[in-house]
Structure 1
Amino acid sequence: MPEIAARQGGALIGVVMGLIDKLFGAPRPSPTAPLYAAIIANGRQPHWFLDGAVPDTIDGRFDMIAAILALVLLRLEDDPSSAGPVAQLTEQFIDDMDGQLRESGIGDVGIGKNVGQMMSMLGGRLGAYREALASDDLAPALRRNLYRGNDPGADAVAHVSAQLLALRDRLAGQESAAILAGQIG
Structure 2
Amino acid sequence: MRRILSLFRSSSGADAGAPYAALVAEARRPEWYRDGRVEDDMDGRFAVLSSLVALTILRLERGSEEAVRGSVSLTEQFIADMDAQMREIGFDTTIGKQVRGLVGALASRVDIWRRAQDGEEEWQAASDFSIFRDKPPCEESATFAAERLRRFSEQLDGADDDEVMQGKW
Shorter chain as denominator, the TM-score bin is 0.7 to 0.9
RMSD: 1.6
Moved more, 78-87 or 160-169: 78-87
Matching residue's letter, 2:42? I
Matching residue's letter, 1:42? E
Match of 1:86 in 2: 71
Paired residue for 2:47, among 63, 69, 72?
63
What is the 5 A alignment of 1:78-157? 78-81=62-65, 82-107=67-92, 109-135=93-119, 137-157=122-142
How far 1:150 sits from its partner (Å)? 1.5
Aligned equivalents of 2:54, 2:7: Cα separation in 1: 25
Match of 2:28 in 1: 44
Match of 1:168 in 2: 153
Aligned equivalents of 1:112, 1:103: Cα separation in 2: 14
Match of 2:12 in 1: none
DSSP-derived class of the 2:168 partner: coil
**Would you say how many aligned residue pairs link Structure 1 and Structure 2?**
157
Aligned equivalents of 1:149, 1:95: Cα separation in 2: 26
Structure with greater Cα Rg: 1
How far 1:35 sits from its partner (Å)? 0.6
How far 1:170 sits from its partner (Å)? 1.1
DSSP-derived class of the 2:118 partner: helix
For residues 109-145 of structure 1, the C-alpha deviation after alignment (integer angstroms, 9 at most, x for no partner) is 3111111111111111111112223338322223233
How far 1:146 sits from its partner (Å)? 1.5
Query: Identity over aligned residues, as a percent?
Result: 31
Aligned equivalents of 1:64, 1:162: Cα separation in 2: 13
Aligned equivalents of 1:29, 1:116: Cα separation in 2: 21
Where does structure 2 lack aligned partners over 5 or more consecutive residues?
A: 1-5, 10-14
Aligned equivalents of 2:7, 2:18: Cα separation in 1: 13
Aligned equivalents of 1:116, 1:28: Cα separation in 2: 22
Aligned equivalents of 2:61, 2:126: Cα separation in 1: 20
TM-score by length of 2: 0.87
Per residue, is there more helix in 1 or in 2?
Answer: 1
Where does structure 1 lack aligned partners over 5 or more consecutive residues?
A: 1-26
